[in-house]
């Protein structure tokens, strides 16, 4: 009895031990499940936080583009020294201003306090007075004074910067590039009522007007063995007469275009390329009705004219070439944000912005290219007579009719950006019509930045479209065949092989596409198009022949392995189509299909085009779509397919009406993920396209995408510049585009899952 009790106790002890082990295992598994649950949750939250931080960082960099103009008055004082101001100017640091007066003096003063820094008398003969004044190219501080005796004085203001005791000291001085002696402009000794000047290292031109007679005086640099600097040779020519008075004279820095205008708005456009025989290009009227032209200035770059009118309107005009290559002035855009007559216009030195002052004491701040009125500020209770802007566009000097001068700081960092400049057609200088253009930089300081994101967004969609045309049919049909018809053993080889293609770096694909595929396609273009016809027809024909073979032959191939028979057929058809390329090109396209497209159809052919991108990027996207779609189709429960087949449906009917509908959420997700991959792809489109931001639907043209543009231009952009922030804006647009697209895709996927979950 005692022995039996002992055995039973041992049995109970073993059962308890086993039970305790199972409980311990369950506890460990529960702990692992909890850890995995929290780990997955933490990972998901980390991804969400990271994406949110990326979004807010992009927004942080982009937001300054939306900031307006801030104008702040720093000082106000009476005009220092005597005389009437004919012109105001500011040096680069905006610490010193200068008044050029009717007494022939240059009075330099501190902008913060109005104290005179220097008072320089210009070498004007006694008994003469200053009748007119004009400035030359922005940034050079060249000025010309027309005198009452028919002569002129050309001078240049320069500023020396020294640092005694580590304190910056700016010292103004005046130089005379054409000599200190006044220059004879006309022989009648009539007062020069209007004047214009332009000067460079090799030549100079001065246009003077007396009694509506205009004279062009040209100076060219001669060479002398005794004078290392050379001497100026002077030549004067009387310009063709005009029918009206001359109130405004503008000469461009290249000394090739001259404009003479009157207050009625009639402007005469001269070609002065030939200094011996200037000729009139056209004569047009800028105004309508009783409106008068009250001010006329060059915009930065001296291509466009900024015209101000008595009704407060201001307009931009610039020359446009016609089909005969003749220039004609066209009005590109206008602003009517001020309602008093404009008195002064001051244009920025290096941007397409300008200030416009009116008779009510208001100043409007504008940007021409962006077509923005940034602000209209009340500066004075009296009409504004003189206006000057600093070279860095961060300050201005304003003088009213009673001699009060005020100094203002301007914070206006990114005036070039507006909705129209980013997404609309813009009429840029030198173009014959408004266009979508991205061109962010140039070698010229007079360049007009072009920040249209439209061709980049279009290029992104175009590249994704052609990639998906290639990827979706191949990957989805391949996934259907692999998951539904292919033998399990064959599937074990095919699926991993396709999935491992995704590990191939896209930079390698882009390299091969740009250096090998693009020239190969150009050489075999007819064969590529023939392949689109021969391949499907040949596969269908082979399948039909196979279906008509006796059953004994068809049964020789195990069920699910029939796809292997297509491999030699596919290779043969591909070889056949490409081998026919040369003869087809000779027979139908004169031996050169790209040239035939250009000459006969007017379709230009770019070697790196949308076809190359579609093939290369489609190859990169296929593994992603295939893998997800194949898993979705393979995961369809067997009882659904078996039940359908048992009810008499054919395998194809079961596939179309049961399998594909049940797997549709997964298939749709696969397509959306592939689309996102195509939209965000960088290296392939960077290397396999011409990388030109053009808006062209043609498959034979290249494109530039948002992601490729960021990769190309971000290293060259200046930190916190408009270009830099617009590139971040492009990244934000790409981010929002993919976010909205994926959100929409998820909503549709959930609806599909709900709709077909009852199958």
- For the stretch 313-368, pLDDT in tens is 999 999 998 888 888 999 999 999 998 999 999 999 988 999 999 999 999 999 99
Please give the order of strands across the beta sheet that includes 384-389: 70-78, 404-411, 395-400, 384-389
Cα-based distances in Å from 115 to 88, 90, 107, 338, 536: 15, 15, 10, 33, 87
Domain boundaries, the chain: 130-156+178-284, 454-719+750-756
Give mean pLDDT, residues 727-731.
Answer: 94
Task: Categorize the per-residue pLDDT at 644 as very low, low, confident or very high, splitting at 50, 70 and 90.
Answer: confident
| The two domains 130-156+178-284 and 454-719+750-756 share their CATH topology (first three levels equal) | no
Task: Categorize the per-residue pLDDT at 716 as very low, low, confident or very high, splitting at 50, 70 and 90.
Answer: confident
Q: State yes or no: pLDDT of 6 exceeds 70.
A: no
- 399: which 2 tokens? 């003088």
- 616-643 pLDDT, tens per residue? 999 999 999 999 999 889 888 888 888 8
Q: State yes or no: pLDDT of 168 exceeds 80.
A: yes
Task: Categorize the per-residue pLDDT at 11 as very low, low, confident or very high, splitting at 50, 70 and 90.
Answer: low
Give mean pLDDT, residues 279-285.
Answer: 91
- 434-460 pLDDT, tens per residue? 999 998 877 565 678 899 999 999 999
pLDDT at 446: 65
Specify the 3-state DSSP secondary structure of 50.
Answer: helix
pLDDT at 225: 45
Residue 440 in contact with residue 449, Cβ under 8 Å? yes
Give mean pLDDT, residues 720-741.
Answer: 90
Cα pseudo-dihedral 625, 628, 633, 638, rounded to 10 = 170
Q: State yes or no: pLDDT of 607 exceeds 90.
A: no
Please, what's the b/e burial string for 229-242 (b: 16 or more CB within 10 A of its CB; e: otherwise)? eeebeeebbebeeb
- Over pLDDT 90: what percentage of the chain? 44
Nearest to 662 by CA among 636, 638, 630, 644: 636
Tokens 């510049």, located at residue: 721
pLDDT at 140: 87
Q: State yes or no: pLDDT of 293 exceeds 90.
A: yes
The region of weakest confidence among 59-63, 241-245, 280-284, 616-620 is: 241-245
Cα-based distances in Å from 68 to 415, 468, 549: 8, 42, 78
- 521-562 pLDDT, tens per residue? 989 899 988 998 999 999 899 888 888 888 777 778 888 788
Supply the CATH classification number for the domain 454-719+750-756: 1.10.3720
- DSSP-assigned letter for residue 558: P
- 245-260 pLDDT, tens per residue? 899 999 999 999 999 9
Tokens 């054409």, located at residue: 178
Q: What is the pTM of this model?
A: 0.86
pLDDT at 556: 82
pLDDT at 445: 59
Task: Categorize the per-residue pLDDT at 689 as very low, low, confident or very high, splitting at 50, 70 and 90.
Answer: confident
pLDDT at 759: 57
- 190-238 pLDDT, tens per residue? 899 999 999 988 889 999 998 878 899 999 886 554 445 567 888 888 8
Does CATH number 2.130.10.10 belong to domain 130-156+178-284?
A: yes
Nearest to 416 by CA among 706, 723, 717: 723
Q: State yes or no: pLDDT of 81 exceeds 80.
A: yes
| Residue 584 neighbours by CB under 8 Å, 6+ apart | 526, 527, 530
Nearest to 309 by CA among 268, 248, 264: 264
Q: State yes or no: pLDDT of 407 exceeds 60.
A: yes
Q: C-alpha angle with apex 354: 348 to 357, nearest 5 degrees?
A: 125
Residue 287 in contact with residue 300, Cβ under 8 Å? no
pLDDT at 1: 44
- Over pLDDT 70: what percentage of the chain? 96
User: What's the whole-number average pLDDT of the chain?
Assistant: 88
pLDDT at 10: 59
- 456-511 pLDDT, tens per residue? 999 999 999 999 999 999 999 999 999 888 888 888 888 899 988 888 888 899 89
């Amino acid at each position: 009895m005692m022995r039996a009790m002992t055995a039973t106790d041992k049995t109970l002890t073993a059962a308890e031990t086993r039970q305790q082990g199972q409980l311990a295992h369950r506890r460990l598994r529960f702990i692992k499940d909890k850890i995995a649950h929290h780990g997955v949750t933490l990972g998901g939250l980390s991804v969400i936080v990271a994406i949110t931080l990326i979004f807010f960082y992009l927004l942080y960099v982009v937001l300054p583009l939306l900031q307006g103009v801030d104008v702040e008055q720093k000082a106000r004082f009476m005009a220092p020294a005597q005389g009437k101001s004919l012109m105001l100017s500011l040096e680069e640091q905006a610490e010193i201003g200068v008044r050029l007066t009717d007494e022939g003096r240059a009075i330099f003063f501190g902008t913060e306090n109005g104290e005179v820094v220097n008072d320089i008398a210009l070498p004007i003969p006694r008994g003469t007075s200053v009748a007119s004044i004009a400035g030359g190219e922005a940034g050079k501080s060249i000025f010309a004074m027309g005198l009452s005796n028919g002569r002129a004085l050309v001078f240049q203001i320069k500023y020396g910067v020294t640092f005694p005791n580590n304190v910056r000291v700016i010292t103004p001085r005046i130089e005379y590039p054409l000599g200190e002696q006044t220059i004879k402009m006309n022989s009648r000794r009539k007062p020069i009522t209007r004047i214009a000047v332009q000067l460079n290292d090799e030549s100079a031109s001065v246009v003077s007007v007396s009694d509506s007679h205009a004279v062009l005086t040209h100076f060219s640099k001669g060479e002398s063995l005794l004078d290392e600097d050379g001497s100026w040779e002077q030549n004067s020519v009387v310009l063709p007469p005009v029918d009206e008075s001359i109130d405004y004279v503008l000469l461009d820095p290249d000394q090739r275009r001259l404009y003479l205008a009157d207050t009625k708005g009639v402007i005469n456009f001269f070609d002065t390329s030939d200094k011996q025989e200037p000729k009139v290009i056209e004569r047009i009227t800028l105004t309508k009705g009783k409106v008068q032209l009250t001010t006329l200035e060059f915009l930065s770059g001296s291509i466009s004219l900024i015209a101000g009118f008595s009704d407060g309107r201001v307009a931009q005009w610039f020359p446009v070439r016609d089909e005969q290559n003749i220039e004609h002035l066209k009005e590109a855009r206008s602003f009517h944000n001020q309602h008093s007559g404009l008195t002064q216009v001051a244009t920025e030195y290096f941007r397409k912005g300008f200030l416009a002052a009116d008779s009510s004491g208001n100043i409007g701040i504008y940007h021409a290219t962006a077509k923005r009125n940034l602000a209209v500020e009340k500066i004075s209770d009296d009409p504004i007579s003189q206006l000057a802007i600093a070279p860095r566009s961060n300050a201005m000097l304003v003088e009213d009719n009673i001699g009060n001068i005020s100094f203002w700081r301007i914070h206006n960092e990114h005036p070039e950006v507006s909705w129209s400049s980013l997404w609309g057609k813009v009429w840029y200088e030198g173009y014959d019509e408004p266009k979508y253009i991205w061109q962010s930089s140039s070698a010229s300081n007079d360049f007009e930045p072009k920040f249209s994101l439209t061709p980049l967004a279009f290029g992104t969609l175009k590249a994704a479209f052609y990639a998906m045309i290639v990827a979706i049919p191949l990957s989805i049909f391949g996934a259907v065949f692999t998951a539904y018809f292919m033998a399990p053993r064959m599937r074990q080889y095919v699926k991993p092989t396709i999935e491992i293609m995704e590990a191939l770096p896209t930079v390698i694909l882009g390299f091969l596409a740009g250096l090998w595929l693009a020239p190969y396609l150009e050489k075999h273009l007819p064969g590529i198009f023939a392949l689109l016809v021969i391949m499907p027809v040949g596969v269908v024909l082979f399948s039909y022949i196979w279906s008509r073979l006796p059953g004994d032959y068809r049964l020789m191939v195990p069920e699910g392995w029939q796809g292997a028979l297509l491999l030699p057929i596919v290779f043969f058809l591909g070889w056949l189509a490409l081998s026919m390329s040369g003869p087809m090109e000779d027979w139908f396209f004169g031996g050169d299909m790209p040239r035939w497209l250009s000459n006969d159809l007017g379709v230009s052919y770019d070697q790196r085009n949308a076809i190359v991108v579609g093939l290369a990027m489609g190859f990169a996207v296929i593994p992603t779509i295939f893998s997800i779609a194949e898993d979705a189709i393979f995961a369809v429960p067997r009882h659904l397919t078996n039940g359908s087949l048992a009810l008499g449906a054919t395998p194809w009917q079961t596939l179309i009406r049961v399998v594909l509908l049940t797997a549709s959420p997964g298939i749709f997700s696969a397509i959306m993920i592939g689309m996102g991959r195509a939209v965000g792809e960088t290296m392939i489109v960077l290397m396999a396209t011409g990388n030109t931001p053009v808006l062209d639907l043609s498959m034979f043209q290249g494109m530039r995408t948002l992601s490729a543009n960021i990769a190309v231009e971000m290293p060259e952009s200046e930190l916190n510049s408009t270009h830099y922030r617009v590139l971040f804006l492009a990244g934000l647009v790409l981010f929002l585009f993919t976010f909205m697209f994926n959100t929409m895709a998820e909503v549709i996927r959930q609806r599909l899952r709900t709709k077909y979950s009852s199958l």
